[in-house]
Chain A
């Protein structure tokens, strides 16, 4: 049986891609969602760091109708320092770990926080 040249190279190419793909596309440990709670007190203080190219923890639980103060530690770099929570009108460049945003969540629910470019994201849970 004569195999056509085109078929032969197509088959060989596909085999090569499948074998290499099987090896190279094995999954690593995916980034996990980590939940953090705000500290108790009159102002709920939250310090967010950076891990796996995203905010860490990336899920934060706070109480409604109680002021929240969020700062970013020194591990947070690049555009992730430009911190936004659209639903609460928060948008501020937190240049140093001493800078913070402060607001009082008046509505309960789940809200997204992100950097200004939307590259780093997380969830703010107001209970």
Chain B
């Protein structure tokens, strides 16, 4: 069964064998920058951990799942239309929804929606272009929808088990992204790897996304509900 083969590939030397390593590097880089920021600045902010801790924690875990998927797509560069559309849609939706959800929970619908849409559309285009304009269009639409939906969902659940829902949303997104990695593996078994981004790629994007998310959550603009 190819799922078993995929699980075996996670320990081999092909690009799939680097997925777990990429997750670990991303987590390490993100937690390192957060620890650095906390030591020098964030610990002086009142109620920093109770207010932002869970959402920053889940943001970092989410980026650690999204970045390996991006790396996986970039390793093969070109896909058939159907696969490329699925890639653009999945990455655009998940990146937009999760980032919008977390920022929406701390800053409100407007800034959460804008950030979610921006990140979702950016990653949707970047990954969807592996199959041309159809994937790009799919990425734009998915990022736009996911970002807004994520922010709206979290704000509407502020007084209704938001924290539990954050874990449920993250868990489901993890399953969906794992499914995407499996799909890429199935679609590319006969293909040659076109390029393999090194650890710097993972570290750079992890640091950038974590720093931006932390900055917006803590110092960014807020809607009236959060002021």
A residues apposed to B, CB below 8 Å: 4-6, 9-10, 12-13, 16-17, 20-21, 23-29, 53-54, 77-78, 80, 117-121
Q: Count the B residues whose beta carbon is within 8 Å of the partner chain — how many? A: 32
Q: Contact: A121 with B31, CB < 8 Å?
A: no
Which of chain A's residues have a CB closer than 8 A to the CB of B67? none
For A80, A118, A119, the residue with the greatest tally of chain B CB atoms inside 10 Å of its CB is A119
- Judged by a CB distance under 8 angstroms, whether B61 is at the interface is yes
Neighbour of B11 across the interface among A4, A24, A28, CB < 8 A: A4
- The answer on a CB contact under 8 Å between B27 and A27 is no
Bitwise interface map of B from 73 to 84 toward A, beta carbon under 8 Å scored 1, else 0: 000000000000
Judged by DSSP, the binding face of B is helix
28 A-B interface contacts by CB (under 8 A): A4-B11, A5-B17, A5-B20, A9-B23, A9-B24, A10-B20, A13-B20, A20-B27, A20-B60, A23-B49, A24-B49, A24-B56, A24-B57, A25-B53, A26-B49, A27-B50, A28-B47, A28-B49, A53-B159, A53-B225, A54-B159, A77-B225, A77-B227, A80-B225, A119-B159, A119-B160, A120-B159, A121-B159
- Chain B residues with CB below 8 A from A4, complex form: 11
Please give the distance in Å from B54's CB to the nearest CB on chain A.
6
Q: Are A119 and B21 in contact (CB under 8 A)?
A: no
**Cα-based distance from A118 to B61 in the complex (angstroms):** 30
The CA-CA distance from A24 to B37 in the complex, in Å, is 14
Using a CB-CB cutoff of 8 Å, which residues 125-161 of chain B contact chain A?
155-160
Q: How far is the CB of A13 from chain B (nearest CB, A)?
A: 5
Cβ-closest chain B residue relative to A115: B159
How far is the CB of A123 from the nearest CB of chain B, in Å?
12
Q: Which of A12, A26, A117, A121 contacts B53 (CB 8 A)?
A: A26
Closest 4 CB pairs of A and B: A28-B50, A6-B11, A24-B53, A9-B20
Specify which chain A residues have a CB less than 8 angstroms from the CB of B34 in the assembled complex.
20
